[in-house]
Amino acid sequence: MTADAWITLAVLAVTVVLLATERIPAPVTMAGSAVVLLAAGVLDETEAFAGFSNPAPITVGALYVLAGAVDATGALRGFTDRLFSAEPGRRRADLARVCAPTAAASGFMANTPLVALLAPRVTAWASRAGQPPGRYLMPLSFAAILGGLITIIGTSTNLLVSGILEEQGMDPLGFFEITPVGLPVAALGVGVTVLVAPLLLPDRRGPADQIGSEVREFTLEMLVTTDQSVAGRTVAEAGLRNLQGVFLVAIEHPDGTSVVPAGPDDPLASGDRLTFVGDVKRVLDLQRLRGLELAAQRHVKILETGDHRVFEVVVSERSMLVGSNIREVGFRNRFGGVVMGVHRAAHRVEGKVGDVNLRGGDVLLVVADADFGIRWREGKDFLVVSELAEGEPPQPERARIVELAVLALVVVSATELVSLATMAVLVAFGLVALGIISPSRAARSVDLGVIVIMATSIALGNAVIASGLADHLAELVVRADALGDIGLLVIVLLVTMAMTELLSNSAAAALVLPIGLATAAQAGLDPRPFAVVVLVGASSSFLSPIGYQTNTMVYGMGGYRFTDFARLGFPVSITTFVVTIALTPVVFPLS
């Protein structure tokens, strides 16, 4: 091998160790590797930075903005409301209800933001029925991973593989080009997950269920809307009787009459004001329930800025608020925020939130603009001002625009009237320009770590090819194979599936794809099927929680042990391997 090939091999070996041990953040490791290869002369500046101008990272960034708009507006809320409308019953039927729609949605929405959207809903849905969320969270992640194989936009890995092909002078993958392989893999993989999860997956309880009663109770008021999900039903029929960590304590009717305490058979009507108490995380979940809106929502809508956040503030003993209630001091006009809820240590706050006489040490949940914390952090009225993640109220009035944007992206890209990258950027820019999502929230929605990993992965792929390392490794693959052309696909797929359990999916694809392309070239075969098996293999991380972002997300939420993933993931991995090897040569002929 040449000196450049040895240098590249050494850099890759160090990169693999660092990624596997997670001693250094993955984006830093990948960027550092690219910089070392540039400094060593293996890559020139054009090759080292080519990833940042490649359509793949740009497209993923735009899709993150779209996902942020979905979260900000509550778009697809009808989908999730229908998904979790019924209480859990039969376990396999419940798994199918969660996994099948998730896989379908994952084909058209990046799976990491999708799991971030659905995981809290699944947790709340299971907890309301007294079931461990761990029964559903790992299958949810697996379904999202499998569904990401249906179209090119399902995962960032798909776009990365397409981008590397384009970087090497080949045609990028079409929107539905991988569907004939990916859809059967997804369907059978989800089927196996639903079938075996009740047998292989132990009941685990997440940290929220293990903490017990040591939570801070906030009082929050909600209004019943005209939506018949709640209006016209009893408390029990509306699903408000057994909410996990949240209790409905009072109902106030528009005529001024009250029901205290609220019972399961009490009827609910549009305009009723409901008082809940519970843990802050559970209380904030209430704003996503269909048929209810924050009693403060009418005030939130008339705040000057559309970029709303939720803050926890502790009232100072010296504050002008002490001894007065929120209504008397004109909180919105004076502080530029709306109080959603109140917590008082060791005591449950009684009565309407706006009528509570505040004391020093009371904790308020405040909806305000992004600068609220800066304005009041040093003031005498609040001891602590801290922003809560994922606390912004949804904007349902703008959700339809976002849903139409998703549809437009899929239709236009699928028909190839405009390239996927161009359409994704147009949609993202349009959502920001129309004020559907604020520039600051759009920026926060983009996972820069993923973008850096993708861009530098392309640089590493360029190094593997430019140094000649890919050709040398491909020679070893060809010599080791005794199973013919199909055997080459088998080896490349197995290597990719093994690598993705140790590294990130993007890193695995970037490292193995050049070898797969070189193997195809030396064997005189079409490179397309090798790209497809690398794409599938890099996304097939089912054996550990570290190989794929969605697995990592649910790992802690579900209270899983490391070995739980291998227990359920092994049959799913076997299914994925068999179906991929059986279908890929048929759909993408090797020669």
* Residue 570: per-residue pLDDT: 94
301: pLDDT strictly greater than 50? no
Query: Positive or negative CA dihedral for 270, 275, 278, 280?
Result: positive
- Alpha-carbon gap, residue 189 to 560, rounded angstroms: 21
Query: What are 221's strand-pairing partners?
Result: 275
Report the percentage of the chain scoring pLDDT > 90: 16
- Alpha-carbon gap, residue 510 to 219, rounded angstroms: 50
* Residue 85: per-residue pLDDT: 62
Q: Which domains does the chain have, with CATH numbers?
A: 213-298 (3.30.70.1450), 306-388 (3.30.70.1450)
- Among the ranges given (43-47, 351-355, 442-446), the one the predictor scored with the smallest mean pLDDT: 351-355
Report yes or no: 30 and 52 within 8 Å, Cβ to Cβ.
Answer: no
128: pLDDT strictly greater than 70? no
**For residue 426, what are its two tokens?**
């147009």
303: pLDDT strictly greater than 60? no
210: pLDDT strictly greater than 50? no
pLDDT per residue as tens digits for the range 512-542: 898 889 888 888 899 999 999 999 999 888 9
* Residue 481: per-residue pLDDT: 55
What average pLDDT score do residues 463-471 get? 80
Going by C-alpha positions, the residue among 549, 551, 552, 588 that lies closest to residue 572 is: 551
Helix (H) or strand (E) holding 278, with range, is strand 273-279
**For residue 402, what are its two tokens?**
């976002």
Report yes or no: 339 and 353 within 8 Å, Cβ to Cβ.
Answer: yes
Query: Cβ contacts of residue 53 below 8 Å, gap of 6+?
Result: none
510: pLDDT strictly greater than 70? yes
- Alpha-carbon gap, residue 365 to 261, rounded angstroms: 24
**Between the CA atoms of 376, 377, 381 and 385, what dihedral angle is there, to the nearest 10 degrees?**
110
Report yes or no: 459 and 3 within 8 Å, Cβ to Cβ.
Answer: no
- Alpha-carbon gap, residue 554 to 569, rounded angstroms: 14
548: pLDDT strictly greater than 70? yes
- Among the ranges given (278-287, 308-317, 396-405, 566-575), the one the predictor scored with the smallest mean pLDDT: 278-287
Phi-psi region of 212 (alpha: psi -120 to 50; beta: other; left: phi over 0): left
* Residue 154: per-residue pLDDT: 85
Cα 222 to Cα 265, 347, 362, 369, distances in angstroms: 19, 21, 20, 21
Strand ranges (DSSP E) for 167-265? Answer: 217-224, 246-252, 258-259
Query: What are 220's strand-pairing partners?
Result: 276, 341
206: pLDDT strictly greater than 60? no
* Residue 430: per-residue pLDDT: 92
543: pLDDT strictly greater than 80? yes
Which carries the bigger pLDDT value, residue 106 or residue 555?
106
pLDDT-based confidence at 97, cuts 50/70/90? confident
Instruction: Please tell me the pTM assigned to this model.
Output: 0.64
Highest mean pLDDT among 140-154, 215-229, 382-396: 140-154
Highest mean pLDDT among 100-104, 257-261, 284-288, 319-323: 100-104
Q: What are phi and psi of 156, to 5 degrees?
A: -65, -25
390: pLDDT strictly greater than 50? no
381: pLDDT strictly greater than 50? yes
- Alpha-carbon gap, residue 290 to 227, rounded angstroms: 7
298: pLDDT strictly greater than 60? no
pLDDT-based confidence at 304, cuts 50/70/90? very low
**DSSP code of 354?**
G
Going by C-alpha positions, the residue among 5, 170, 15 that lies closest to residue 507 is: 15
What is the rounded average pLDDT for all residues in the chain?
80
- Alpha-carbon gap, residue 91 to 516, rounded angstroms: 41
pLDDT-based confidence at 259, cuts 50/70/90? confident
- Alpha-carbon gap, residue 129 to 132, rounded angstroms: 9
* Residue 409: per-residue pLDDT: 82
- Alpha-carbon gap, residue 151 to 205, rounded angstroms: 34
Cα 57 to Cα 61, 90, 291, 422, distances in angstroms: 6, 42, 39, 12
- Among the ranges given (315-319, 388-392, 454-458, 570-574), the one the predictor scored with the smallest mean pLDDT: 388-392
Going by C-alpha positions, the residue among 342, 230, 229 that lies closest to residue 277 is: 342
* Residue 202: per-residue pLDDT: 82
* Residue 526: per-residue pLDDT: 93
Which carries the bigger pLDDT value, residue 75 or residue 262?
262
What average pLDDT score do residues 123-129 get? 73
Q: How many helices (H) and strands (E) does the chain have?
A: 26, 9
Report yes or no: 392 and 308 within 8 Å, Cβ to Cβ.
Answer: yes
pLDDT per residue as tens digits for the range 212-255: 444 456 677 888 988 887 899 998 888 787 666 677 878 889 88
Query: What are 258's strand-pairing partners?
Result: 252
pLDDT-based confidence at 586, cuts 50/70/90? very high
Residue type, 26: A
Query: Cβ contacts of residue 265 below 8 Å, gap of 6+?
Result: 234, 235, 236
328: pLDDT strictly greater than 80? yes
